[in-house]
């Protein structure tokens, strides 16, 4: 029987009864039939002669299978059970995958389609049963043409090797745009040969600390050779790299290197070590535009992207208003409104880019009367910018805060790394819908897609970039690729489990927050009551009390556990027989239950809630402290004060390195009674006279935290909330709690 007849026989045998293949993002059309194709090490991948795109996609599939499945398949033009075929009739990024018991074929019209078909073939081969590909017929194409991530390398620098790694895992998710944020107040990261001080001065900063000693200078930049290599690597994965050179704001690092570009009247600033919205803007002199055009010339020489992002956001106009030079130039131009002056600024840059065959992209602040119709608006202040841009006839990309801002943590668990305390869960991202039903069909075409942003003010390491991005990037991928009527949250979670197995196989430091155990422990008269849950209410939670990690055969949690004091409880989430979360461990003794980290306490307010760690010397672990920088106040809930209690706390100092403008005046300072301030303890409320006032001593040299002397809380019947707040003599530095222990 011929191979074609075998395939038809498999189709006629009817759909399989097994669960469908767990593919992510979910394809447009999947039909599964009985049977399977079993890959062996002797198989080969066949490509058409002289088809470089097909050969590249085939080599990529071979590389993925080698990394995850341990296979070493050869790519050749002769025979092979896996075939790549160039065919007409597919959408620009569309493809088909068809398998039968004897092999698999990937078909597409474009190189990108062939690569995405290769990724789907890899997922089929690395599913529940590695190297076993179900008999399927898949026809697929993306919903949106812009499916992106933004990487902020200005605040914290990532190595070229990491950027390449990120490009790879973007390709695995069929993401196709890497927006690379390369300049900001805290650093300039791109070599510009005509202006060497941009890397000798603007690429380095002295980090802020709360002590007298300063840590080593922090910095880094990408040479043009490194960028060309990264861009070429991305092109081979069909990812467009779009550089961002921020202007007219976020310019402090640039002005530190070349002060004549600035609008300030005072001294030259340093490269900033603070976070927030700064006030340094480029001036509008002809020499400044020549500088920016020179920079853009070198940027365009190393980035072939059709798009160049020029920022345009958070341009506080105070310096423009107070600068005689800027005001004189504005009068000569006949412009009296500072906002109109930024429109004029953007127009000059936009025209220069158009002259060189490029299109300007900017954050939604650029959407003002007079914006050129070829400019692309990236809507970050919600979705209203995208709506207005589409109505105005501008292409737009949805990137709204907070849902697509990945510096927000993924859960409220203490395992989350530094970032903002706001929780943007995997489900929040998955349920984001880019389509605006109020737009006409013609206006809808201006919505190019969506992008999530990885701002790295508080994400200092590459491992943490991965944690904060994965698996939320998988949700972005499915929102951008899969039609909304095919999306299914529970089905996504089922398909996420093998995706996480691939993450592990390829060494990625991903977050398990959606499946991680949220364990709550309560002391009762006859022992301890423990409740277990996970964010998604997914899978089976299994637990042990014998000191061993849970296994698929361990008891399944169904209701709160009554356990004797001293038990060691371990728990994890399982999908079928596979563990999909880390193991949660808790010693249920008096010490463990009494102590809560600042991350386990409740913030009294959430003005600017952050998870922060102090800068320090060496590689020793740093404490991670949760606080609202507008109000250093925490609540320890449900304390039994019937017989009084002893409270012990550990505290450290953090620099107040935040540019928050007039909001800084809202922070209560100057209410301290002593030179270092006091820890005020109140019961059942955070106002009024404190029950205990504990004076603070200076933090020992080089210490990150210190344990404060224990204090006695007065006896009161029943359980009460205990509020802890620092009174402080000045804004900088600020005291923060590391942990609090309250015991009888």
Cβ contacts of 142-145, under 8 Å, gap ≥ 24: 142/91, 142/93, 142/94, 142/174, 142/480, 142/481, 143/480, 143/481, 143/482, 143/483, 144/434, 144/447, 144/448, 144/449, 144/450, 144/480, 144/481, 145/92, 145/93, 145/176, 145/448, 145/449
Phi and psi (nearest 5°) for 120? -65, -40
- Over 611-678, what HEC string results? EECCCCCCCCCCCCEEEECCECEEEEEEEECCCCEEEEEEEEEECCCEECHHHHHHCCCCCCCCCCCE
Order across the sheet with 74-76: list the strands: 29-38, 132-140, 95-100, 103-108, 82-86, 44-46, 74-76
- Is residue 314 among the annotated active site residues? yes
Active site residue 250: yes
Half-sphere exposure of 418 (CA within 13 A, CB side): 18
Q: CB of 585 within 8 A of CB of 568?
A: yes
Task: Say how far apart CA 364 and CA 383 lie, in whole Å.
Answer: 10
* Spatial separation of the C-alpha atoms in residues 738 and 744, rounded to whole Å: 21
C-alpha span between 618 and 215 (Å, rounded): 9
Closest of 598, 595, 687, 605 to residue 651, by C-alpha: 598
Is 395 annotated as catalytic?
Answer: no
Kindly state the tokens that stand for 518: 């949220």
In the three-class reduction of DSSP (H, G, I as helix; E, B as strand; rest coil), residue 54 is classed as helix
Catalytic entry in 314, 428, 488, 640:
314
Q: How many CB atoms lie within 10 A of CB 607?
A: 14
Give the 3-state secondary structure of residue 400: coil
Question: What does the alpha-carbon distance between residue 601 and residue 589 come to, in Å, rounded to a whole number?
Answer: 19
Which ranges of 470-526 does DSSP label H, i.e. alpha helix?
472-481, 489-505
Q: Three-state DSSP class for 164? A: helix
Residue 245 three-state SS: strand
C-alpha to C-alpha distance for 61 and 125, rounded to whole angstroms:
10
Instruction: Provide the 3-class DSSP secondary structure of residue 678.
Output: strand
Dist. CA 210–CA 204, nearest whole Å = 19
CA distance linking residue 159 with residue 155, whole number of Å: 13
Check: CB of residue 569 under 8 Å from CB of residue 545.
Answer: yes
Catalytic residue among 184, 457, 466, 678: 184
Q: Taking the mean position of all CA atoms in its chain, how far away is CA 390? A: 27
Residue 546, classed as helix, strand or coil, is coil
Closest CA to 513 of 654, 420, 410: 410
Report CA torsion sign: 344, 349, 354, 358.
negative
Query: What are the residue numbers of the active site?
Result: 184, 250, 314
């Amino acid at each position: 029987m011929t191979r074609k007849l075998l395939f038809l026989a498999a189709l006629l045998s009817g759909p399989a009864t097994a669960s469908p293949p767990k593919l992510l993002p979910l394809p447009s059309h999947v039909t599964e039939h009985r049977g399977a194709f079993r890959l062996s090490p002797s198989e080969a991948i066949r490509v058409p002669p002289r088809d470089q795109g097909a050969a590249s996609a085939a080599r990529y599939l071979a590389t993925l299978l080698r990394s995850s499945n341990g296979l070493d398949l050869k790519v050749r033009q002769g025979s092979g059970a896996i075939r790549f075929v160039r065919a007409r009739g597919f959408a620009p990024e569309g493809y088909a995958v068809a398998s039968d018991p004897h092999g698999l074929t990937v078909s597409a019209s474009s190189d990108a389609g062939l690569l995405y078909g290769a990724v789907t073939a890899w997922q089929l081969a690395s599913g529940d049963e590695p190297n076993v590909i179900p008999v399927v017929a898949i026809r697929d194409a993306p919903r949106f043409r812009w499916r992106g991530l933004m990487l902020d390398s200005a605040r914290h620098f990532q190595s070229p090797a990491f950027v390449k790694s990120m490009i790879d895992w973007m390709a695995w998710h069929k993401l196709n745009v890497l927006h690379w944020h390369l300049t900001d107040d805290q650093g300039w990261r791109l070599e510009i040969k005509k202006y060497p001080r941009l890397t000798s001065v603007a690429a380095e900063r002295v980090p802020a600390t709360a002590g007298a000693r300063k840590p080593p200078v922090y910095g880094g930049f990408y040479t043009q050779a490194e960028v060309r290599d990264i861009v070429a690597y991305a092109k081979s994965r069909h990812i467009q790299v779009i550089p961002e050179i921020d202007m007219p704001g976020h310019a402090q690092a640039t002005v530190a290197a070349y002060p004549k570009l600035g609008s300030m009247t005072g001294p030259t600033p340093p490269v900033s070590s603070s976070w927030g919205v700064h006030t340094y803007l480029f001036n509008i002199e002809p020499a400044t535009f020549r500088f920016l055009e020179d920079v853009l010339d070198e940027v365009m020489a190393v980035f072939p992207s059709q798009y160049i992002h020029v920022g345009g956001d958070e341009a506080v106009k105070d310096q423009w208003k107070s600068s005689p030079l800027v005001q004189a130039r504005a009068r000569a131009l006949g412009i009296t409104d500072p906002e109109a002056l930024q429109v004029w600024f953007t127009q000059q840059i936009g025209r220069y880019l158009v002259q060189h065959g490029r299109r300007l992209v900017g954050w939604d602040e650029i959407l003002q009367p007079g914006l050129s119709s070829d400019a692309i608006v990236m809507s970050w202040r919600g979705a209203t910018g995208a709506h207005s841009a589409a109505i105005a006839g501008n292409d737009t990309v949805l990137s709204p805060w907070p849902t697509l801002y990945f510096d927000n943590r993924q859960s409220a668990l203490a395992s989350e790394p530094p970032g903002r305390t706001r929780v943007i869960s995997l489900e929040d991202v998955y349920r984001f819908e880019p389509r605006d039903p109020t737009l006409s069909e013609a206006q809808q075409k201006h919505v190019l897609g969506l992008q999530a942003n990885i701002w790295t003010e508080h994400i200092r390491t590459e491992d943490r970039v991965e944690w904060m991005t994965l698996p939320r990037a998988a949700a972005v991928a499915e929102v951008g690729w899969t039609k909304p009527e095919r999306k299914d949250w529970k089905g996504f979670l089922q398909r996420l489990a093998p995706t996480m197995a691939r993450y592990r196989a390829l060494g990625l430091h991903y977050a398990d927050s959606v499946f991680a155990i949220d364990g709550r422990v309560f002391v009762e008269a006859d022992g301890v009551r423990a409740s277990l849950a996970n964010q998604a209410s997914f899978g089976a939670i299994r637990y042990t009390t014998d000191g061993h990690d849970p296994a698929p055969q361990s008891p399944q949690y169904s209701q709160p556990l009554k356990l004797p004091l001293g038990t060691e409880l371990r728990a994890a989430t399982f999908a079928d027989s596979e563990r999909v979360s880390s193991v949660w461990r808790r010693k249920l003794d008096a010490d463990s239950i009494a102590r809560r980290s600042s991350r386990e306490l409740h913030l009294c307010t959430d003005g600017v809630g952050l998870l922060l760690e102090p800068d320090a010397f060496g590689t020793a672990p740093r404490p991670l402290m949760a606080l609202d920088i507008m109000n250093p106040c925490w609540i320890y809930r449900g304390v039994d004060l019937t017989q009084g209690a002893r409270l012990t706390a550990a505290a450290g100092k953090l620099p107040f390195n935040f540019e928050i403008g007039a909001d800084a005046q809202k922070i209560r300072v100057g209410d301290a009674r002593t030179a270092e301030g006091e820890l005020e303890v109140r019961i059942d409320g955070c106002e009024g006279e404190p029950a205990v006032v504990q004076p603070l001593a200076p933090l020992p040299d080089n210490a990150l935290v210190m344990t404060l002397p224990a204090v006695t809380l007065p006896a009161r019947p029943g359980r009460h909330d205990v509020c802890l707040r620092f009174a402080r003599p000045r804004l900088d530095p600020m005291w923060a709690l590391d942990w609090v222990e309250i015991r009888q």
